Structure 1
Amino acid sequence: MTSADLPLRTALPRGRGPISRSILSAYATGQRGDVFRTERVAAADPLGEDVQLALHLCYELHYQGLQDVDAEWEWDPDLLHIRGMLERLFLKKLRECVAGGDDVTAVLLVEPVGVVSRHLLDHGEWWQMREYFVHQSIYHHKETDPHAWVIPRLRGTVKAAMVAVQFDQFGAGHPDQARTRRYADLMTSARLSSGYLAYLDEVPACMLATVNMMSMFGLHGRFRGALIGHFAAAEATTASSALRLVQALQRWESSPECSLFFTTPQQPMRDTVIGDLLAREPGLAGDLVFGVQATELLERRFADHVLGCWRAGRTSLRSGRADPDRQGGVSVPAGKDYR
């Protein structure tokens, strides 16, 4: 079975707390039960496992959907009410943790650190690279899908530039060259599952939060500036991190499919997109700054978690399953070369 043949809909994961478990129960049974007990949301940790999985379960209905979950849930008003409460909780926490302001030039001049890619290049082991692939699969299975939602909300050059980016990301008319397909090929080459969100149960809240933020910004027109800020922050980091990852993969003599994903050229559109957006809507400067800062905040939290685990000699994934050939990491068939 090739990556293109794998089912797109995600099997329901395990719950991580009362909110996510109640949503999963509602999806599975069709009965709301106590899923809409709003006091649970108010008391929850905005960046914790329960809230982030609950948000992901709500957002996934707008993407490929969830296996055996009725499509009617996508626009269920009561579920949207709970999702809105979770979003406000998440958004409030993000705003509390960043400096804010409207100086776009200043935030864009900050050099991205890319600490995980630096670690993988300088000190990393192969099992750690494979864990990194697992974490990033939650993002790369969607890639720029959330950015597509902003296109109808833009005009002029910024709209044309975002369409050009999307065209490249989706393979420029060639499905086998789409970023999502190439990441699936990377996963297969690393002897990992290439199925859509196959590792949802394994990935912690700090990774889910980065994707949930994109979904939240993309689904709400009022956050279009913040989503462009995320786009700008991600583009600033991509090239340097990709180079370091390629160099690390070369050190391990990994298969060409692993490196191919990171060597595919992408159009640099950040300055074009930001310049035209602010020329048309200067009032979005503060939102754009917020998008950049929130992206950097969540990336730092993810890096702190991953590097903290690796430096302690343990897996950064939730299950803690051991790699049969090395301590930590995700399992592979015993006795086989998985590079």
Structure 2
Amino acid sequence: MRLPAARGPITATLFDRLTRPPSSGEDRQGSSCADGGGDVLTDGDFQLALFACYELHYQGFDDVDDRWEWQPALLATRAELERRFEEALARAVPRPALPGGPRGVRRALNELVAGDDGPSLSGFLARRADRRQFREFVVHRSIYHLKEADPHTWGIPRLAGGPKAALVEIQADEYGGGRCERMHSELFRATLRGLGLDDSYGAYLGRVPGVTLAVSNVMSLFGLHRRLRGALVGHLAALEMTSSLPNRRYGDGLRRLGGGGEAVLFYDEHVQADAVHEQVAAHDLCGGFAAAHPALAGDVLYGAACALEVERRWAGHVLGRWERGDTSLVEPLDADADAASARLAATLGRPASARTGR
């Protein structure tokens, strides 16, 4: 993966620095590239800049020196971006009440999830979406699913005892129980290929809007800061508790559009796995964590609420654009369709025209 095109003054400044060696004198102090206004939860320039900073702790960029990862000036820039991001989250997400104290975390999580009134993107995809819209949905999700589980794995060394064992249990399934072909990220690559899309890591980073990047950035924010470990486990619980039914609908929608076999395996796998994971996450992980760290019990609910809020905003953006007949991406996929189909056809050894309408 290489750095995508800049989307504004923040990424223009940041990317210009990152494509040069990290030892120049101008990098001894943090940059002011984080300055600016607007809604940072949806701003593409802001979210792409923060995503790029975080990505240096994951797979990185081919055109960025790995030494940037711990360069003090870049960390100072990232800290300023994170400060603004956390402030925006605090304004958008009220901290949920925890009337039962630490012992009431599981019940509070269930009530929080049950009370979520976000738009039903999964219902639309199951019954109404056309192939173009489903492909766009998969492109949005590729930003996280190709690194699925990695942000939450940062929490393993920050936990102990039962909560640590619970997180490892969940993550082991996410990573396929040690089998590469069963890793959820690998299963999702098959979904991409089945829809004639590029399955390489970060292929669509430049095409997704800021609201999509915010979904991943919340995870990295919580995962990379020990002080936010309570929010991290709550975030994971919210994902697991809201996964089984939507993934059943996603699979149904893809089958309705002619998908099958390996293309839908990712969704079918989540229907089964996450039905178990939600119990482990709510009771053993979050309940155990709150019992061990009563002062952080409120953070668990806050992390879950943040997960639901950024998902709600993202789903609202996607459905809103589709209802107007527009693309939900920064740029439509149509220009890439023929090239992607040709690449897939070459892989399968048959003419691209033979795949039309699959």
Provide TM-score, normalisation by structure 2: 0.86
Cα pair 2:30 2:72 within 8 Å, conserved: no
Range moving further from structure 2, 114-123 or 190-199: 114-123
Indicate yes or no: 2:293 matched with 1:281: yes
Aligned length: 327
**Counterpart Cα distance in 2 of 1:246 and 1:308:** 22
Range moving further from structure 2, 248-257 or 291-300: 248-257
**Counterpart Cα distance in 1 of 2:96 and 2:262:** 42
2:130 to 114, 125, 140: 125
Quickly say closer, same or farther: Cα 1:196–1:338, change in 2 above 3 A.
Answer: farther
1:304 to 305, 316, 320: 316
Cα pair 2:247 2:267 within 8 Å, conserved: yes
**Counterpart Cα distance in 2 of 1:138 and 1:294:** 18
Cα pair 1:202 1:317 within 8 Å, conserved: yes
Range moving further from structure 2, 19-28 or 99-108: 99-108
Q: Deviations over 1:213-238 (max 9, x none)?
A: 10110000000010111101100111
Quickly say closer, same or farther: Cα 1:213–1:238, change in 2 above 3 A.
Answer: same
Cα pair 2:34 2:77 within 8 Å, conserved: no
SS of equivalent residue, structure 1 residue 286: helix
**Counterpart Cα distance in 2 of 1:310 and 1:32:** 48
**Counterpart residue number, 2:74:** 79
* Greater helix proportion: 2
Cα pair 2:251 2:267 within 8 Å, conserved: yes
Which amino acid in structure 1 is aligned with residue 18 of structure 2? Y
Which amino acid in structure 2 is aligned with residue 186 of structure 1? T
SS of equivalent residue, structure 1 residue 38: coil
**Counterpart residue number, 1:25:** 16
**Counterpart Cα distance in 1 of 2:52 and 2:318:** 23
**Counterpart Cα distance in 1 of 2:315 and 2:206:** 19
Quickly say closer, same or farther: Cα 1:102–1:155, change in 2 above 3 A.
Answer: farther
**Counterpart residue number, 1:222:** 227
Quickly say closer, same or farther: Cα 1:321–1:193, change in 2 above 3 A.
Answer: closer
Percent pairwise identity = 39
Indicate yes or no: 2:313 matched with 1:313: no
Query: Per-residue deviation at 1:122?
Result: 2.3
Query: Per-residue deviation at 1:272?
Result: 1.6
Provide TM-score, normalisation by structure 1: 0.90
Query: Per-residue deviation at 1:324?
Result: 8.8
**Counterpart residue number, 2:89:** 94
Cα pair 1:162 1:273 within 8 Å, conserved: yes
Query: Per-residue deviation at 1:101?
Result: 3.2
Runs of 5+ unmatched residues, structure 2:
99-104, 343-351
Quickly say closer, same or farther: Cα 1:37–1:338, change in 2 above 3 A.
Answer: farther
| CA RMSD between the two structures | 2.2
1:46 to 36, 40, 43: 40
Indicate yes or no: 2:76 matched with 1:57: no
**Counterpart residue number, 1:5:** none
**Counterpart Cα distance in 2 of 1:92 and 1:160:** 32
**Counterpart residue number, 2:356:** 337
Query: Per-residue deviation at 1:88?
Result: 0.7
Query: Per-residue deviation at 1:189?
Result: 1.2
**Counterpart Cα distance in 2 of 1:324 and 1:45:** 30
**Counterpart residue number, 2:152:** 147
Quickly say closer, same or farther: Cα 1:221–1:76, change in 2 above 3 A.
Answer: same
Range moving further from structure 2, 45-54 or 219-228: 45-54
Which amino acid in structure 1 is aligned with residue 40 of structure 2? P
Runs of 5+ unmatched residues, structure 1:
1-9
